[in-house]
């Protein structure tokens, strides 16, 4: 078993095993650097605290369920949807872990004109940096497609939303994903069917809202 060697080098404190294992260097200014494959460890309940600076050149494995990153987008245009879906939000990320999971949360503000409005909301997941409405999530993340339902994240036919009011629809789910580390992945929020986004029918610029999409990468 290697012994721990503590030495100084150019005003730095260097911690290294006697077997020439990768070193941990503490600089005179308080900066700590890790050589490739160096490991910072401690007791189960006390692994140390980093108060400033960056940890680089070292693989950090976070516990399963940890949030690796969060990306979000807002949409505040006031539009009327149609049969062709409108892309309201789009968020892109570079995966920090292979086959990680993703948790999305979306909130869309909508209004209607008091007749048989249709409300179709879709979340898409695309490999790349541009969202595509045709890239549906896995079947577990879709509503049942039997009958007249289309397998969207949210569908309401003949919703009959009142002319002078607005509703909020919230969407959220955990998405299983197969991808490589550093893969580009893009999520999109799409709206169609004939309703209004971020406004009511009769009170444009008086009643308004903000539509949002937030995606978290979750470690496995």
* 122/195 Cα distance (integer angstroms): 14
Q: What pLDDT score does 7 carry?
A: 59
Burial-class residue 199 by CB neighbours within 10 Å (0-12, 13-18, 19+).
buried
Provide CATH 2.60.120.1340 ranges for the chain: 67-218
Q: Which of 209, 185, 11, 194 is nearest to 102 (CA)?
A: 185
β-strand pairing of 154-156 with 184-192: unpaired
What string of DSSP letters covers 22-59?
Answer: PPEEE-TTS-EEE-TT-----BTTB-----SS---SS-
* 15/24 Cα distance (integer angstroms): 5
Task: Output the pTM of the full model.
Answer: 0.72
Instruction: Give the model confidence (pLDDT) of 30-83 as tens digits.
Output: 555 556 555 555 455 555 555 555 555 445 677 888 999 999 999 999 999 988
CATH of 67-218, one of 3.40.50.10470, 3.30.70.270, 1.10.3720.10, 2.60.120.1340: 2.60.120.1340
Residue numbers in the chain where pLDDT is lower than 50:
42, 57-58
């Amino acid at each position: 078993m290697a012994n721990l060697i503590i030495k100084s080098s150019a005003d730095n404190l260097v911690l290294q095993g006697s077997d020439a294992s990768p070193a941990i260097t503490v600089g005179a200014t308080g900066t700590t650097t890790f050589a490739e494959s160096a490991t910072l460890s401690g007791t189960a309940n006390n692994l140390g605290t980093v108060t400033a600076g960056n940890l680089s050149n070292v693989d950090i494995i976070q516990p399963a369920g940890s949030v690796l990153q969060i990306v979000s987008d807002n949409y505040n245009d006031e539009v009327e949807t149609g049969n062709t879906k409108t892309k309201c939000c789009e968020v892109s990320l570079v995966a920090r872990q292979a086959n990680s999971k993703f948790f999305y949360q979306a909130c869309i503000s909508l209004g209607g004109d008091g007749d048989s409005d249709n409300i179709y909301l879709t979340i898409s997941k695309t490999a790349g940096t541009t969202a595509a409405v045709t890239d549906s999530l896995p079947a577990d993340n879709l509503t049942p497609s039997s009958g007249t339902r289309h397998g969207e994240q949210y569908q309401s036919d003949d919703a009959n939303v009142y002319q002078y009011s607005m509703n909020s629809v919230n969407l959220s789910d955990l998405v299983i994903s197969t991808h490589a580390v550093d893969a580009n992945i893009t999520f999109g929020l799409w709206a169609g069917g004939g309703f209004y986004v971020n406004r009511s029918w009769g009170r444009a610029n008086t009643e308004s809202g903000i539509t949002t999409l937030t995606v978290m990468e979750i470690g496995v």
